[in-house]
Structure 1
């Protein structure tokens, strides 16, 4: 029998954090899952570290040829998954205890839902909490998928969370096109919206885990490119699904995408200074 859940880790140069990430998956109380890890041509010791799980029956180890960006490895691990549900966990983030069970139970209880989503914490390189809770609070447990897509566009940002915050019903997600590579900086948000155009969102209020902050994230150029891609994504949704995303929704989302990108960049500047100061004092 295939597992209920496939947890997939597309690893790339994650030697500093991969062991902690994998342990956060394997130590879950919920046990009806498989773990698929694929190394995407890492130049550090990621592949060598992965060998410690070679004899674990729950774990499948793969290699993805270099090239193709994140989409290539995300597709690789997803194609190898066999579970009814799919949860992608980047190789430097952390799952909190019991989050796998909560998401599976939420999707089981709401068969009309294709996406389960939770808020998260933000953590630094030492796994210390920087921000205790981050994420949208939905007014209902189940949100109509088209309403969730519209809310994401109007917010100008990904309101669903990073990949580890989300569990997908695998078959309809794959049937809808799977991971969306057209807008690389929005690969997670755009892909969730694909699933939400064919099903609903179930909101799970407990924290999913810890998103690892990097002091190299969000340069000026990256913020500008992320904003540009967000506007392109909004335009595509308006053109293909004007019943979901109106011209007014698109305009509002475009303005907010610019603001969000710049605000996030400034926030990373502040966080970088805080994290550097903390590292210097040993705190």
Structure 2
């Protein structure tokens, strides 16, 4: 039988954490789902680890995705293999709570106009310790127009909806071209946006996912590049539909994109020092 939900994992150099990720998915209290995994040709022992799950009745382990193509290549591969009506992508070092699927499916079922649901998430360190709890969504709460949610995220200058493990959406609404890699640092937010512009979204104020941070990953170059890509993404949205992002909204969002990138880097510097001290 076709599962209602497909949870897909595009693994890449995640051997240290992938087992925790997969076990968190397989620990769901919701039953009508499948788990699809593909490794992006990592050379860190991931293939051996995945062999332990190959016979699990809920799991499909795909052959390795050929090298190249960036994140989009593997994200598209596992997504194209999905069979469920609803899709959740979980990166290979993140976690979801045992009731993540049940609560997010229930939220969509309770709101037939909704095409997308997002929750808050915890930021965790390499050991799985929560360093910042219940982040995301801004002031979004309950059923929200998808256009209003997109506009709020642009105005905030950041992805209010979190990493892919925080969201669940109707798979058929993802474009035929797959995940939107026009601005690679925003592959998730840009793809969410294309879905949300087709209906409403539900914001769950509960933390149902965990994002594992690397405190050393935010360089000054990365800060500027992500801000530039966020601004380019905002400008492209405004050009496509000026009624979605009027001039003032666009200007505020672009200014905040630079401020948020700077604040994010400072946060990561602080976290790095905290972890070293601990």
- TM-score range with shorter-chain normalisation? over 0.9
1:225 aligned partner: 225
1:53 aligned partner: 53
The yes-or-no answer on 1:14 pairing with 2:14 is yes
Distance between the aligned counterparts of 2:140 and 2:77, measured in 1?
35
2:69 aligned partner: 68
The yes-or-no answer on 1:96 pairing with 2:97 is yes
1:42 aligned partner: 42
8 Å Cα contact 2:140-2:203 kept in structure 1: no
Q: Which aligned runs of 4 or more in structure 1 are off by greater than 3 angstroms?
A: 137-140
2:84 aligned partner: 83
Aligned to 1:118, the other structure's residue is in SS state: strand
Distance between the aligned counterparts of 1:219 and 1:134, measured in 2?
22
Listed one character per residue, the Cα deviations across residues 205-232 of structure 1 (whole Å, up to 9, x for unaligned) are: 2212211011222110000000000010
Distance between the aligned counterparts of 2:272 and 2:227, measured in 1?
21
8 Å Cα contact 1:114-1:173 kept in structure 2: no
Of residues 245-254 and 166-175 in structure 1, the stretch that sits farther from structure 2 once superposed is: 166-175
1:162 aligned partner: 163
Equivalent positions of 1:123-272 (< 5 A) are 123-174=124-175, 177-272=177-272
What TM-score results when the alignment is normalised by the length of structure 2?
A: 0.97
Distance between the aligned counterparts of 1:267 and 1:116, measured in 2?
27
What TM-score results when the alignment is normalised by the length of structure 1?
A: 0.95
Aligned to 1:204, the other structure's residue is in SS state: strand
| Aligned-pair Cα RMSD in Å | 1.1
1:281 aligned partner: none
Aligned to 1:41, the other structure's residue is in SS state: coil
Give unpaired runs (5+ residues) of structure 1. Answer: 279-283
Distance between the aligned counterparts of 1:139 and 1:65, measured in 2?
39
User: Shift of residue 96 of structure 1?
Assistant: 1.2
Aligned to 1:66, the other structure's residue is in SS state: coil
Distance between the aligned counterparts of 1:139 and 1:228, measured in 2?
25
Distance between the aligned counterparts of 2:15 and 2:58, measured in 1?
21
Aligned to 2:264, the other structure's residue is in SS state: helix
CA gap 1:38/1:266 in 2 versus in 1, 3 angstroms: same
Distance between the aligned counterparts of 2:43 and 2:215, measured in 1?
20
Distance between the aligned counterparts of 2:175 and 2:168, measured in 1?
13
User: Shift of residue 139 of structure 1?
Assistant: 4.9
8 Å Cα contact 2:238-2:250 kept in structure 1: yes
User: Shift of residue 43 of structure 1?
Assistant: 1.7
Listed one character per residue, the Cα deviations across residues 25-46 of structure 1 (whole Å, up to 9, x for unaligned) are: 0011111100001100112111
Distance between the aligned counterparts of 2:14 and 2:110, measured in 1?
35
